[in-house]
Amino acid sequence: MKQYTVIYEPAGENYSAYVPDLPGCIACGDTIEETEALMKEAIELYIEALREDGKPVPEPTTKARPIAVAG
């Protein structure tokens, strides 16, 4: 099982998400939870499409971690 980093961003009254290691793999939803569920499905479909086309599936390489700074 692979674990891809997903970036979530507020988009007005909803949320959008993308996977840096899977260009063009995006999702959006009304809540973070809905967006996460849609993103999981998008990743699975993206990988399935790559395999069907005989293309390699990129390895997850992106890491994300918050850093606290004085503000």
The rounded distance, in Å, linking the Cα atoms of 67 and 35 is 24
Indicate the number of domains in the chain.
1
The pLDDT of residue 11: 93
Tokens of 57: 């599936």
Q: Tell whether 69 is covered by a domain.
A: no
The pLDDT of residue 10: 96
Residues, the chain = 71
The tens digit of pLDDT for each residue in 29-58 reads 999 999 999 999 999 999 999 999 999 999
3-state secondary structure of 63: coil
Tokens of 3: 């674990």
The DSSP secondary-structure symbol of 67 reads -
Q: Tell whether 63 is covered by a domain.
A: no
Residue 71's pLDDT band (boundaries 50, 70, 90)?
A: confident
Q: Tell whether 16 is covered by a domain.
A: yes
Q: Tell whether 58 is covered by a domain.
A: no
CATH at 47: 3.30.160.250
Segments forming the whole domain that contains residue 46: 7-52
Q: Tell whether 68 is covered by a domain.
A: no
Mean pLDDT over 3-8 rounds to: 97
Residue 41 gets the label, from left (phi > 0), alpha (psi -120 to 50) or beta, of alpha
